[in-house]
A and B are shown apart, each in its own frame.
Chain A
Amino acid sequence: GAVVSQHPSRVICKSGTSVKIECRSLDFQATTMFWYRQFPKQSLMLMATSNEGSKATYEQGVEKDKFLINHASLTLSTLTVTSAHPEDSSFYICSAGQGQNQPQHFGDGTRLSIL
């Protein structure tokens, strides 16, 4: 149980394109979803926290107009990288939480490459 599906797994696109990444909890309802960014050989950097039906809470230094997060239901959150540029190239990972005593469950990540 506790499977999180993230799509697409890899995106290669031109600079200026907007890219949408989906994160779904397949067999549980996620009270909270999280979006992370991971640079090569580095740890995960939390970008934002989203709760169903409310605005996402962004971490300091993360541009909310650049990284749009929508949490439409208890099983789906999306991250849209708007007008992506090469510096946005990275590995993006989502996770879903079931509650305070439970671990976050992670998707398999999306490798975004902007040419």
Chain B
Amino acid sequence: AQSVAQPEDQVNVAEGNPLTVKCTYSVSGNPYLFWYVQYPNRGLQFLLKYITGDNLVKGSYGFEAEFNKSQTSFHLKKPSALVSDSALYFCAVRPYNTDKLIFGTGTRLQVFP
């Protein structure tokens, strides 16, 4: 079965420190990969995507993600965390032959001042 795993329910990081939110996937073929962020009682905001090309993708608000085909991972990173980055982050995969997204279970990022 196709799936997306976000192994950490919560990630805590001090403001100014680098952050990583992990994502691995199990999907056949070459999928499209996405990261979204959700603030309380809001929908999801698109952060970045990987379709093809350079493995390091840069997105909104200083976030970036690295695609690793051999490890089937797409970890989200930011060099210096802000308190305002505290939110729920979702990794999503779209298999190449469908419009549907498969979401991970989400990781709550908490950035402490």
Residues of A within 8 A of B (CB): 2, 4, 6, 32, 34, 42-44, 46, 49, 91, 93, 95, 97, 100-101, 103-109, 111
Stretch at the interface among B19-27, B61-69, B72-80, B96-104: B96-104
- Contact residues in B for A46 (Cβ distance below 8 Å): 100-101
Chain B positions within 8 Å of A, measured between CB atoms, are 32, 34, 36, 41-46, 49, 51, 90, 94, 99-101, 103-106
A103 and B49 contacting across the interface, CB-CB below 8 Å: yes
| Best-surrounded residue of A95, A104, A105 (most CB of chain B within 10 A) | A104
Please judge, given known A-B contacts A43-B90, A43-B105, A44-B90, whether A100 and B44 are in contact too, CB under 8 Å: no
13 additional contacts (CB under 8 A) given A42-B105, A43-B105, A105-B46: A34-B101, A42-B106, A46-B101, A93-B44, A95-B43, A97-B99, A100-B32, A101-B51, A103-B34, A103-B49, A106-B36, A106-B43, A108-B41
Q: What are the residues of chain B within 8 A of A4 when measuring CB–CB?
A: 43
Contacts of B44 in A (CB 8 A): 44, 93, 95, 106
Binding site secondary structure of chain A: strand
A69 CB to closest chain B CB (Å) equals 15
Docked CA distance A2–B43 (Å): 14
18 contacts between A and B (CB under 8 A): A34-B100, A44-B103, A46-B100, A46-B101, A49-B99, A49-B100, A93-B43, A95-B43, A95-B44, A100-B99, A101-B51, A103-B34, A104-B101, A105-B46, A107-B43, A109-B42, A109-B43, A111-B41
